[in-house]
Amino acid sequence: MLGLGLAAAVSAFTSFSPFALLAHARSASTFDQVTDTIANSISETFNEAVANHFPARTGKPAQPPDAKPVPAKPFADGSGYTLCFVPDGASCQALLINAIRSTRHRLLIQAYSFTSAPIAEAVAQAHRRGVDVRVILDKSQQSERYTSATYLKHAGVPVVIDNKPAIAHNKVMVFDDQAVFTGSFNFTKSAQERNAENGMLIRGDAAVVRAYTDNWNKRYQQSRAY
């Protein structure tokens, strides 16, 4: 039953009528204002979805869940985003692979768990066609039996281990200094086929891309070779 409530929350988030809130957030003067506005929007719509799903507690009629894939929508300034929700929505793996295949110059990766053969192969292919690919992984990947780290290293991709923090839990890709993927989605078969995960591909937002790139560079400088 809780899964239905979460699906309702997803539906409410993507169909929230004051979605112009995001456009307002894009015009905010600071990054904190942007993140606070988006966080408040998500929190309000999630709470509304939960209330609708439990009429005995609220007196409101239950709303049917809707887990349709979420298409790309433009921000006010012409940038855009694409959402994925597995297992009930658009494929996060397909979204990532398509973005990797479209990358022409630079691909920066941070991963907690990276065992997906299809994603690893797309990354290796990007390296072979001349893309500057660099990968930061959590130290758990040194002992993970099915890690993609060894395959990527043998393919010539620079791989480093972020071993300073207790867990390097980032799941991020930066494409051509123009787009960022982030979310709960690990780059694994389980994340795509067994788990409830989410991801967002943000395109054309220079401030967001710069923030993620700066953080990637900081973590890379503190990492060591795999």
Residue the block writes with tokens 């692979």: 97
In the chain, CATH 3.30.870.10 sits at 69-225
Determine how β-strand 132-138 pairs with β-strand 106-111.
Answer: parallel
Q: Which two tokens stand for residue 218?
A: 């900081």
Decide: 173 and 107 in contact? Cβ < 8 Å: yes
CATH code of the region 69-225: 3.30.870.10
Global pTM reads: 0.67
Residues classed as catalytic:
169, 171, 176
- Rounded-to-integer distance, Cα 49 and Cα 63, Å: 8
For the segment 23-78, what is each residue's pLDDT rounded down to a tens digit?
444 444 444 554 554 555 455 545 544 444 444 443 333 333 343 444 444 433 45
Is the confidence at residue 139, as pLDDT, over 90?
A: yes
For the segment 141-171, what is each residue's pLDDT rounded down to a tens digit?
999 888 999 999 999 999 999 999 999 999 9
SS3 sequence of 68-87? CCCCCEECCCCCEEEEEEEC
pLDDT at 84: 96
